[in-house]
Amino acid sequence: MNFLIPFLILITVVVFIHEYGHYYFAKKFGVGITDFSIGFGKEIFGWYDKSGTRWKICWIPLGGYVKFFGDRNVFSQSEQQNLINKYEEKDRQKLFILKPLYQRSIIVAAGPLANFALAILIFFLINMFVGKDITQALISEVRKDSPAFEAGLKKNDKIISIDSHVVESINEVSMFINTSTSEKIEFKVLRNNQEISILVKPELVDGNDSFGNSVKKRMVGIKLSPLNSEFQRKPLGPTEAIYYSIKEVWFVTTTSLKYIGGIMKGSADSSQLGGPIRIAKITGQVAEYGLIPFLSVMSYISISLGLINLFPIPMLDGGHLMFYFFEKILGKPLSQKTQEGFFRIGLFLLISLMFFATFNDLREIGLF
């Protein structure tokens, strides 16, 4: 229960924000909405609002959906006309399929974009009211015969950047090292008031994260200590807070894309790809440390959900956007046969991804 309750809170908020993005712009453009569901399967409870939308919570919490009035796939002009003929003029105005292509595209894209907006908002509030870590990254020890030692890093070097990412706090060093996809990591350090560039080839070792979970780590063999053994946080003004919030979301997004690209090329560690079980475990562990770490994890999960949904895979929002792109180019929707072929491919990819991620989760907890 210590893991389940925080996980359910996190996934409910993230999914609600995603679906509300669709809902908000659908309402704005006059699309009728029959259902707003958090979860799948049998309804636990729900209610109707004044516009006739059924808001409901269902048993399987791993997702949600917004169902539009008259919602069904139509692939040809005749099918579309048959659907239109079923409704009176006032109801036709509520049909999603009759909305301009740009409005349909905005409605579909609004879900993932709402997830990115949620992450930016969370980071913004943390930067404003808790503060941003500005502790200098100073090397206090270099392990003998380590990659850092062989490359020439030394005690008292101040780390300025890693792979062109400016290091603004001590906590960013480990993150930049472990998210790097380069064979050799470029460190820029300040030594005796001179800027020096050093390439370090990290070692990939089995280790544990701060919660005791098994992970693969890229190690270079340095130890960092804050100046005067004090960590420093600085509350930011609104402009700085929004800047660093957007910067953080951009970094997580680009790093995730590089990692996925690395998996596809076979150069990244695919064992770190997790699914709902791992997310639930980490959420529960982080929640024990307080609200701020919990909100931070929520923002990362929100970014991941938004990013994955933008992939051009049928059944995801990105798949619909891909179809709209073809519709714009061709001047008409793709044929039923073509779309069904794409959907089969998309279903296979999604099931394969879910199976692989779940296998990793079960292996981590010792069931394989």
Question: What residue ranges do the domains of the chain occupy?
Answer: 4-129+302-364, 133-234
| φ, ψ (nearest 5 deg) of residue 203 | -95, 140
Q: Look at residue 210 in the predicted model and tell me its pLDDT.
A: 58
Amino acid residing at 242: I
Structure tokens belonging to residue 276? 């709902």
H-only helix segments in 331-364: 336-364
Q: Look at residue 101 in the predicted model and tell me its pLDDT.
A: 93
Q: Look at residue 228 in the predicted model and tell me its pLDDT.
A: 65
Given a contact cutoff of 8 angstroms between Cβ atoms, the answer to whether 223 and 139 are in contact is yes
Given a contact cutoff of 8 angstroms between Cβ atoms, the answer to whether 63 and 40 are in contact is yes
Just give the CATH number of 133-234. 2.30.42.10
Q: Look at residue 260 in the predicted model and tell me its pLDDT.
A: 83
**What span, in angstroms and rounded, lies between the C-alpha atoms of 146 and 142?**
8
Torsion of CA 164, 166, 167, 173, to 10 degrees: -30
Q: Look at residue 160 in the predicted model and tell me its pLDDT.
A: 92
Instruction: Dump the DSSP string for 200-255.
Output: E--EEEEEE-TTS-EEEEEE--EEEE-GGG---EEPPPHHHHHHHHHHHHHHHHHH
Q: Which neighbouring-strand residues pair with 80?
A: none
Q: pLDDT tens per residue, the chain (368 residues)? A: 567 889 899 999 999 999 999 999 999 999 999 999 999 999 999 999 999 999 999 998 888 999 998 776 655 555 667 777 787 878 888 888 888 999 999 999 999 999 999 999 999 999 999 999 888 888 999 999 999 999 999 999 999 999 989 998 888 888 888 888 788 999 999 999 899 999 999 988 876 665 556 667 788 999 988 766 677 888 999 999 999 999 999 999 998 888 888 777 776 666 667 777 777 777 888 888 889 989 999 999 999 999 999 999 888 899 999 999 998 999 888 887 888 888 888 888 888 887 877 777 666 655 55
Compute CA 368 distance to the chain's CA centroid, rounded to the nearest angstrom: 27
Q: Look at residue 227 in the predicted model and tell me its pLDDT.
A: 65
Q: Look at residue 19 in the predicted model and tell me its pLDDT.
A: 96
What are 13-17's contacts with CB under 8 Å, separation 24+?
Answer: 13/118, 13/298, 14/115, 14/118, 14/298, 14/301, 14/302, 14/305, 15/39, 15/61, 15/63, 15/64, 15/305, 16/64, 17/114, 17/115, 17/117, 17/118, 17/302
Q: Look at residue 189 in the predicted model and tell me its pLDDT.
A: 93
Q: Look at residue 231 in the predicted model and tell me its pLDDT.
A: 76
With vertex at residue 276, the alpha carbon angle to CA 214 and CA 105, rounded to the nearest 5 degrees, is 130
Q: Which residues have a catalytic role annotated?
A: 19
Nearest to 285 by CA among 277, 238, 111: 277
Given a contact cutoff of 8 angstroms between Cβ atoms, the answer to whether 255 and 240 are in contact is no
**What span, in angstroms and rounded, lies between the C-alpha atoms of 230 and 212?**
25
**What span, in angstroms and rounded, lies between the C-alpha atoms of 175 and 194?**
25
- State which H helix or E strand residue 91 sits in: helix 89-92
